[in-house]
Amino acid sequence: MTMPIILPRQEAPVAAIATPVGVGALAVLRISGEGVFDIAQKVFRKKNNPNFRFTASKGFRAHFGTVHDSEGLIDEVVALVFRSPNSFTMEDMVEFTCHGGPVVVQHILKVLLDEGCRLAEPGEFTRRAFLNGRIDLLQAEAIGEMIHARTESAFRTAVTQMQGTLSLRLDAMRELLLRSCALLELELDFSEEDVEFQSRTQLQEELAGLQEELHRLVDSYQHGRLLKEGVATVIAGLPNAGKSTLLNVLLGEERSIVSHMPGTTRDYIEECFLYEKTMFRLTDTAGLREGGEEVEHEGIRRSFKKISEADLLVYLLDISLESYLDEVPLIRDLLERNSNARMIVAANKIDLATGSEERLQKLRAATGCEVCALSAAKGEGLEALKRLMSTMVEGLDKLHEASVLVTSLRHYEALRNASDALANAQELITRQAETELIAFELRSALDYVGEITGKVVSEEIVNLIFEQFCIGK
């Protein structure tokens, strides 16, 4: 169990470029922390107002002027003032908007560092917002997810999370748990007298309600993950069926080596593509074939793992082979390995097949799956395949768009642990176990829920989360 720790307030002034590297119309640099107004004062001159003082400026004011170093003018800028606590970090902050050339930006950054700022670490601004209590950990992570969102739905979910909807629910849960814990611990203090401050029946009812809510959140992860990461799609099939070729045309680039030798796709790679509003996360699997070298065995083992985790399976076969129906048992086997996945059989190399319509019919009848004709090499049938993929997963990523969703593995695991601890507590109450044991399980559940919003969290976890941010955020 993680012990609560007091996180230090970090106040030394930091600076960072907040916009992406490269040429743009404008770029933004930001500084935050104690003394940033004095630092800004040293480098900035307000147009037509030599007496301007940052320390005297109101918050949310923009000042037009120039930035200088010891050798002279660097650029014309707009300096935007934020006064503590009304800023992103809750500290005093200044944002400089300058022209977006990389040299200009680096120049201004250097002056700010020379005048006393330290270069901000990745995510340090958001980290300060968290440490200063403006946002909780969940909201901080949502900012990162919003920035990295690749689909509209992922973006919407992140925005909801940033607004604190999930945080509010978790806080309410924590409050309930805290109250029960406090009452049980009070009983322990009076253990000599054999009193019951909280009736066990009432406690059971409360815990059942909490458990229901926890289960709902845990279950929402499947959809949350889908929204964030895309539909896990596996292209499976025997070696030489055309999997690499298909992957390449879907992604529009040469991603994995296409080869004439069976069994050359040794590992799997993962890439995403967006079709209409759905994001597919594609895995090019090793060819499914028994035997072969050691390396390939390992590849096949991993392929089966990917298959069991997939949301969508695209089984590719070479329809021009006389033996195409021999693969039907393999297709059935895959369906058994993952009964949750949707399956499409793509009959590839249709350009080489004779009597293809009859072959497709037979395949449909033998597998009971959606079958589509394809020539990955010629790009024929590709649009139909993508449309079919999209229809097959329709609804999967939209189901929970409006409700609160768990999208992060960290949150999912913490919620599952909380739910397990709660289940233990429920069981202990049923068995009329000692109060001490019940209180212990409730405390664990409390800590796990607290881990998510950052109420109870180790510094290590905080570091891990913010390291994933970019500099300047």
Contacts with ligand GDP, residue ranges (CB under 6 A): 237, 239-245, 258-260, 265, 287, 348-349, 351-352, 375-378
Residue 329's SS3 state is helix
Distance CA 118, CA 132 (A): 19
Binding region for (6S)-5-formyl-5,6,7,8-tetrahydrofolate = 30, 95, 134, 473
Q: Using CB atoms, what's the residue nearest to ligand GDP?
A: 242
Least separation in angstroms between residue 282's CB and ligand GDP is: 13
Q: Is the dihedral of CA 430, 434, 436, 437 positive or negative?
A: negative
Is the peptide bond preceding residue 239 cis, with omega within 30 degrees of 0? no
Phi, psi angle pair for 317, to nearest 5°: -135, 160
Least separation in angstroms between residue 266's CB and ligand GDP is: 11
Q: CB-based contacts of 296: which residues, under 8 Å, 6+ apart?
A: 263, 266, 286, 287, 289
Of 265 and 407, which CB lies nearer to ligand GDP in the complex structure? 265
Least separation in angstroms between residue 315's CB and ligand GDP is: 11
Least separation in angstroms between residue 256's CB and ligand GDP is: 7
Least separation in angstroms between residue 356's CB and ligand GDP is: 12
Binding region for GTP = 240-245, 259-265, 284-287
Binding region for Mg(2+) = 244, 265
Least separation in angstroms between residue 347's CB and ligand GDP is: 10
Of 219 and 351, which CB lies nearer to ligand GDP in the complex structure? 351
Of 224 and 263, which CB lies nearer to ligand GDP in the complex structure? 263
Of 299 and 450, which CB lies nearer to ligand GDP in the complex structure? 299
Distance CA 14, CA 31 (A): 5
Tell me which DSSP letter residue 380 carries: B
Of 240 and 453, which CB lies nearer to ligand GDP in the complex structure? 240
Least separation in angstroms between residue 240's CB and ligand GDP is: 5
Residue 237 · residue 243 · CB < 8 Å: yes
Of 108 and 288, which CB lies nearer to ligand GDP in the complex structure? 288
Q: What is the 3-state secondary structure (H, E, C) of 265-298?
A: CCCCCEEEEEECCEEEEEEECCCCCCCCCHHHHH
Residue 468's SS3 state is coil
Distance CA 265, CA 240 (A): 9
Of 312 and 346, which CB lies nearer to ligand GDP in the complex structure? 346
Of 200 and 378, which CB lies nearer to ligand GDP in the complex structure? 378
* Nearest in space to 377 (alpha carbons), one of 243, 238, 272, 237: 243
Inter-CA distances, 325 with 63, 239, 291, 330, Å: 74, 16, 21, 10
Token pair for 410:
């960290």
Q: How many Cβ atoms are within 10 Å of 13's Cβ, its own excluded?
A: 25
Token pair for 177:
């748990």
Binding region = 30, 95, 134, 240-245, 259-265, 284-287, 473
* Nearest in space to 444 (alpha carbons), one of 415, 406, 401, 465: 415
* Nearest in space to 99 (alpha carbons), one of 127, 124, 76: 76
Of 47 and 378, which CB lies nearer to ligand GDP in the complex structure? 378
Token pair for 283:
């895995």
Least separation in angstroms between residue 317's CB and ligand GDP is: 10
Q: Which residue has the tokens 């006389």?
A: 322
Least separation in angstroms between residue 303's CB and ligand GDP is: 12
Phi, psi angle pair for 419, to nearest 5°: -65, -40
